[in-house]
Amino acid sequence: MIPVMGNIRMTEIKRSHIQSLYYEEAAASTSIARLVKTVMNTSMQYAVNKKIISINPTIDVALPKQVEKKTYHTRNIDTQKTLNMEQVLTLIEASRETPIHMQVLFAVLLGLRRCEINGVKYSDIDYINRTLKVQRQLGKKLNTTAGDFPAKTFTKQEIGLKTPSSYRTIPIPDYVFEAILEERKMYEKNRRRRSDTFQDLDYFCCSTYGRPRSKDFHWRHYKKLLEDNGLPDIRWHDLRSTFCTILLKNNFNPKAVSQLMGHAKEIITIDVYGDTAEIIEDCLDDLQPFIDEVIPKEESEGGTDFSEDNYIEQISEFLA
């Protein structure tokens, strides 16, 4: 950018300089031009906030007309890389005896991202209204090194979520809520057993010593579950896509699903269901996709009875 605009002070930059920069980059590469525009907008706004300049010179300066506007955050989901309802239920049942059962539930039934799951605390749960408030994730803090933190905590720092839209409140279905209560009992049991060494940090997904899980803890258990149960070898993040796909296939409004998943003005499409005419197009301001009755309450010898027919029936009644 500097070579194109010349050796000029930031306070002397005018709209004409910005426009010339955009035309220069657009002639070479439209993708680079878009990137340059993003960087310039952000940089100049930062300069205004720091009172280096008084006016942002990039305001209302558009890219040349030959640079087509890129569709904002279009998400394509390949249904070949997601699970169907029968496979979801198989995975949930098989994960019961593993240490990642709750992580599986949070991913495939609540649509949480991996780092969001690790950041969930018991204090985020509203036990009266049965909702979960997503308000943090665990990861690396910017501009830090492993030496800045205690051992084995570098990648387990509390950081902000991906976007402002990622801060959201999600209704908890009955089945997940019951699993949460059981997990809480285990948490309290471990805290009593290991009162001298237990780290009472309130994290939901933690070791028997209370330490938060790393972002890759689930990997070995997850891959083994897929292999042992004849399930497609999909990524962990594809469980979140599975959650999204199930809602869209059952006529949930795409805009509302985006809101539920924490997307910012995101358009979600499914390769197999590319025709939006097959999806409800009315706009719902708010959607509670998983109310208490989403997971059927009928009990069987093995616990809560899952079936695809009951699942779809529950959602259809709610939509009606």
**pLDDT of amino acid 263:** 72
Among the ranges given (43-47, 50-54, 62-66, 249-253), the one the predictor scored with the smallest mean pLDDT: 249-253
pLDDT for 314 beyond 90? no
The predicted model gives 30-42 an average pLDDT of 87
DSSP-based helix, strand, coil % in the chain, nearest 5: 45, 10, 45
pLDDT top residue among 247 and 238 = 238
Among the ranges given (10-19, 72-81, 147-156), the one the predictor scored with the smallest mean pLDDT: 72-81
CA-closest candidate to residue 25, choices 9, 47, 3, 42: 3
Specify whether the CB–CB gap between 257 and 268 falls below 8 A.
yes
Cα of 230 vs its chain's centroid, Å = 26
Please name each of the domains of the chain with its CATH number.
1-70 (1.10.150.130), 76-319 (1.10.443.10)
Using one digit for the tens of pLDDT, what is the confidence trace for 176-209?
Answer: 899 999 999 999 999 999 989 999 999 999 999 9
Among the ranges given (21-25, 79-83, 279-283), the one the predictor scored with the smallest mean pLDDT: 279-283
Instruction: Record the tokens describing residue 167, joined without a space.
Output: 């801060």
Bin 138: left if φ > 0, else alpha if -120 < ψ < 50, else beta: beta
pLDDT for 271 beyond 80? no
The predicted model gives 48-65 an average pLDDT of 88
Residue 30: how many CB atoms within 10 A of its CB?
16
Residue 97: how many CB atoms within 10 A of its CB?
7
**pLDDT of amino acid 282:** 33
Instruction: Find all residues with CB under 8 Å of 27, minimum gap 6, and list them.
Output: none
